Structure 1
Amino acid sequence: MRNFNNLVINEWLKMSKKRSFFIPYAIIAVAMVVLAWAFKRWAEDMFGNAFEYTAMMASSNGFGHIVAMLAVIFTAGLVPSEHAQGTIKFLLIRGQSRGKVLASKYVAALLFILSMFVWLNVFGFASGAVLFGMEQPAGAWRDILIATGSSLVYSIVFMTLTFMLGVLTRSAGAAMGVGTAALMLSSLIIPKSFYKYVLFPNADLSVYSHGGHPPIEGMTLPFSIAVLAVYIVLFLGASFVTFKRRDIA
């Protein structure tokens, strides 16, 4: 377990040394402040307090969708870049199994997504508090948690898809392109019963909050969670099987 923790820490340090690492955080921080100012200036009645602003920004219908896209873009090159630079060989000759090496990269990507949502909530709430006040309505923290949790799951699903594509194709461009396209298609709904088993209509769990109706009849929150779990297992299964069996030369 200690060796695996060290692998995760090593992956995080490698990620943080990239020049592009802090760009998503900068985008989120600037966006939270600018959007809060814009809403205050031109749509003052839209948000009554910092809680409402934060919940909206964290949702998949708000800036949470952009965070998912940032996660896809950043994750696309995690494995392909190691192959392109030849550093994957050095990782595997240190006595660590291929499974642990790949798992450490995936865990580092999960931590990256989680940190972005924490960052979004901190800057969203701070900006909202300054411009909209801190009056706390009933269920305010619950709304923020639901919005953040739904967006977090949404981001993890498409990040995992992109992660798999990076392993299968060894191409950051292909993984990023398909992952981004999948994000764009996530809003596509085909009103057919078979479509409820497809990834896209199940990815956004926020449709079940506040008594919302699912996009296709027969869908429920447990059903969507089960469907997403199956897809994530399939994506990770394909990633690990391919990574373990493929020649790295």
Structure 2
Amino acid sequence: MRKFNNLVLNEWLKLSKKRTFFVAYALLIVLPFLVGYIVHSVAAELFASGPAFAAEMMMPTAIGQVVSILVIIGTAGIVTKEYSQGTIKFLLIRARSRTAILASKYMTVLLYALSLTVVTTIAVYASGSVWFGMDGDRLGIGDVLTSVLYNSVYLVMYTALAFMIGILTTSTGVTIGSTMFAITISNMVIFRDFYKYVLFPNMNLAAYEGGGAPIPGMTLHFSILVLSVYFVLFLLAGFMVFRRRDVA
């Protein structure tokens, strides 16, 4: 376990040395206050309280989606740049298995996503408190955390997709471009029976609130099962290719 922790620490240090590493944190601190100011100036009645604003902003359709995009951009090269810079050979000659090396990289991606989510949640909640106050409805921190949970599902699935694409293509540009395209078309709904088995409609778990569904006939348990299958397939494909690829 100590060796694995050292691998994760090493990957985190490499990630944090990027010149743009802290840009994402700065943006996700400033953006909620800017959005809060604009909304308060144009339509202050839109949100009855700070928690209501925070709960809405942390959804995958709002600032929560920005978190996902920044995580993808920030970590798209965590595998691909090892190939483009030629450092993959030196990485693999260490006394570590390929599985452990790739797992440490994915763990670093998740830690980065978690840290951005925490920073954003705090910033959004603070922004809501400043611009809309803490009184006005019965929404509270629990509702905000529920939105964070919905967005975390969205975030984890897209990072797994980007991670797999990065391994398969070894191209940072293709990884970012493909994942951004997937995010762009994710709101498209095709009312056909087969579409409920596609990844995109199942990621909007918030649609089940109040007895609704992304597509008629779908259930929460069904979406969780579909997401679990896709998640396993993404990681399985990535790990299998990484373990078997010849880097000589």
Bin the TM-score by the shorter chain. Answer: over 0.9
Report the AA paired with residue 220 of structure 1: T
Q: Does residue 226 of structure 1 match 2:225?
A: yes
2:31 aligned partner? 31
Structure 1, unpaired ranges of 5+: none
Q: Does residue 248 of structure 1 match 2:247?
A: yes
- List aligned pairs for 1:1-249, cutoff 5 A: 1-135=1-135, 137-209=137-209, 211-249=210-248
Whether contact under 8 Å (1:50, 1:132) holds in the other structure is yes
Q: In structure 2, how many angstroms separate the alpha carbons of the residues matched to 1:136 and 1:156? A: 33
Deviation at 1:28, TM superposition (A): 1.1
Report the AA paired with residue 82 of structure 1: E
TM-score if structure 2 supplies the norm length?
A: 0.96
The 1:212–1:72 alpha-carbon spacing in structure 2 relative to 1, beyond 3 Å, is: farther
Q: In structure 2, how many angstroms separate the alpha carbons of the residues matched to 1:197 and 1:43? A: 39
Report the AA paired with residue 58 of structure 2: A
Identify which range, 21-30 or 220-229, moves more after superposition. 21-30
TM-score if structure 1 supplies the norm length?
A: 0.96
Q: In structure 1, how many angstroms separate the alpha carbons of the residues matched to 2:12 and 2:43? A: 40
SS in structure 1 opposite 2:73?
helix
Report the AA paired with residue 161 of structure 1: L
SS in structure 1 opposite 2:138?
coil
Deviation at 1:138, TM superposition (A): 3.2
Whether contact under 8 Å (2:59, 2:65) holds in the other structure is yes
Whether contact under 8 Å (1:80, 1:170) holds in the other structure is yes
Structure 2, unpaired ranges of 5+: none
SS in structure 2 opposite 1:105?
helix
Q: Deviations over 1:45-75 (max 9, x none)?
A: 1112211111111111211111111122223
Q: In structure 1, how many angstroms separate the alpha carbons of the residues matched to 2:146 and 2:124? A: 15
Whether contact under 8 Å (1:57, 1:124) holds in the other structure is yes
Deviation at 1:136, TM superposition (A): 7.3
Q: Deviations over 1:123-171 (max 9, x none)?
A: 1111111221122743522211111111111011111111101000100
Whether contact under 8 Å (2:50, 2:134) holds in the other structure is yes
Report the AA paired with residue 247 of structure 1: D
Q: In structure 2, how many angstroms separate the alpha carbons of the residues matched to 1:165 and 1:115? A: 23
Runs of 4+ in 1 over 3 A off after TM superposition: 136-139
Q: Deviations over 1:100-126 (max 9, x none)?
A: 100111111011111111111111111
Whether contact under 8 Å (1:146, 1:206) holds in the other structure is no
Q: State percent identity of aligned pairs.
A: 47
What is the aligned-residue RMSD (CA, Å)? 1.3
SS in structure 2 opposite 1:225?
helix
Report the AA paired with residue 143 of structure 1: D
Whether contact under 8 Å (1:54, 1:124) holds in the other structure is yes
Report the AA paired with residue 63 of structure 1: I
The 1:101–1:136 alpha-carbon spacing in structure 2 relative to 1, beyond 3 Å, is: farther
Whether contact under 8 Å (2:47, 2:53) holds in the other structure is yes
Whether contact under 8 Å (2:208, 2:214) holds in the other structure is no
SS in structure 2 opposite 1:22?
helix
Q: In structure 2, how many angstroms separate the alpha carbons of the residues matched to 1:71 and 1:56? A: 20
